[in-house]
Structures are given as structure tokens and as C-alpha cells.
């Protein structure tokens, strides 16, 4: 009984930072209930890092993540050498006006030609996506594919804004 109590408390502490309390309770009780997706103004910052070795790339990814979180951005994803940082894609995200621009400026100042950045804002939604064992907390954003295309064509050391 104590073990069950401690396990439930651990789950609440871990997931309570990410999702609403009702979702955590449903998880603990084994229900596959999930809240509806939440519509929100979402700001996205995509950062592509480059380096000469896997170790250097890994270190740059970590440092970019530190800068992003210092600007109150949430790191939503990491794939290969691309970091996806967001504002407004989480219930606890309440970005200050100009937070995205400040993050982009700070990244370029600190990392220069080691990164390229594409950023923009638009109406999207966030929440749990997928089914069963593949549920993941994330967001969807119109024009995200175009933003990735712009990122692939951007020059290192630059930042470009996209409009969804």
C-alpha cells in the first residue's frame, strides 16, 4: 500500500508539471481519458546547430537549450541538430511581450555562425497527440512545414521570421 502511494505521488510530481491535474488522475487510475487540445497563440523558434564533431554538436545543443529556457521558452523537441523551442504551447507558458525576439537576438549573439534560426508566431494548439503508447505532449502549428523548408535554406549566422 505504501509503495502504491509513493508511486502515485511520484507520477503526480512528474506529470503535474506537464499536464492538467485531471489528466494525471486519469493516468493513475488507468483511464485513457485526455483533455481536448488547447488553442493558443504559439511562438516557435527553430534552431539548427552545426559543429565539427558529435561532441561539439551535443554541447551546442545543450547550450542553446539553456539559453532558450533562460528566456522562458519550452524545449518541445530535438531532432538531429534541430531544437524546437516554443512560447505559448504549454499551460504554464506566459511569455512576456518580445520574448521570442529577445531569445533570437540572444542566440545569434552567443552562437553566431554556429546556428541558423527561423521563428514565427500563429494560432495553433497544444496537448496530447497520438494514441495508446505513442501519446506525446506537443503542439501543431500551421505552416510548420514551410518553416522547416525555410530553415533548410537559411544561411548559418542568420535568423529569419516566417508568417504562417
What are the two backbone dihedrals, phi and then psi, of residue 128, each rounded to the nearest 5 degrees? -90, 125
How confident is the model at residue 57, as a pLDDT?
A: 95
Query: Whole-angstrom Cα distance, residue 42 to residue 140?
Result: 9
Question: 159: pLDDT confidence band, cut at 50, 70 and 90?
Answer: very high
Query: Whole-angstrom Cα distance, residue 31 to residue 29?
Result: 6
Measuring CA to CA, which residue among 125, 117, 90, 79 is closest to residue 101?
A: 117
Domain map of the chain by residue range? 1-35, 36-161
How confident is the model at residue 94, as a pLDDT?
A: 86
pLDDT in tens, 104-152: 999 999 999 999 999 999 999 998 888 777 888 899 988 999 999 999 9
Measuring CA to CA, which residue among 65, 73, 60 is closest to residue 100?
A: 73
Question: 2: pLDDT confidence band, cut at 50, 70 and 90?
Answer: low
How confident is the model at residue 10, as a pLDDT?
A: 73
pLDDT in tens, 62-94: 999 999 999 999 999 999 899 999 999 988 888
Q: Report helix, strand or coil for 148.
A: helix
The distance of Cα 5 from the centroid of its chain, to the nearest Å, equals 31
Question: 54: pLDDT confidence band, cut at 50, 70 and 90?
Answer: very high
Count CB neighbours of 27 within 10 A.
18
Please count the CA atoms within 13 angstroms of the CA of 34 that sit on its side-chain side.
15
How confident is the model at residue 32, as a pLDDT?
A: 61
Please state, in angstroms and as integers, the Cα–Cα distance from residue 132 to each residue in 26, 44, 71, following that order.
13, 27, 33
Q: Which CATH architecture has domain 36-161?
A: 2-Layer Sandwich (3.30)
pLDDT in tens, 6-49: 777 776 776 666 666 776 777 677 666 667 889 999 999 999 99
Query: Whole-angstrom Cα distance, residue 87 to residue 128?
Result: 17
Which three cell numbers, joined as nine digits, stand for 86? 516554443
Examine the pLDDT at 163 and tell me if it is beyond 90.
Answer: no
Amino acid at each position: 500500500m505504501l509503495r502504491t502511494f509513493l508511486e502515485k505521488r511520484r507520477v503526480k510530481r512528474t506529470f503535474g508539471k506537464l499536464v492538467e491535474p485531471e489528466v494525471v488522475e486519469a493516468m493513475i487510475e488507468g483511464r485513457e481519458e485526455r483533455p481536448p487540445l488547447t488553442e493558443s497563440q504559439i511562438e516557435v523558434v527553430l534552431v539548427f546547430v552545426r559543429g565539427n564533431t558529435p561532441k561539439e554538436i551535443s554541447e551546442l545543443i545543450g547550450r542553446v537549450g539553456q539559453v532558450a529556457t533562460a528566456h522562458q521558452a519550452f524545449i518541445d523537441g530535438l531532432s538531429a541538430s534541430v531544437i524546437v523551442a516554443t512560447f505559448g504551447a504549454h499551460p504554464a507558458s506566459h511569455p512576456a511581450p518580445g520574448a521570442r525576439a529577445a531569445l533570437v537576438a540572444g542566440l545569434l549573439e552567443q552562437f553566431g555562425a554556429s546556428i541558423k534560426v527561423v521563428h514565427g508566431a500563429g494560432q495553433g494548439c497544444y496537448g496530447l497527440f497520438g494514441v495508446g503508447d505513442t501519446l506525446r505532449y506537443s503542439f501543431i502549428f500551421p505552416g510548420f512545414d514551410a518553416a522547416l523548408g525555410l530553415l533548410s535554406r537559411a544561411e548559418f549566422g542568420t535568423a529569419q521570421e516566417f508568417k504562417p
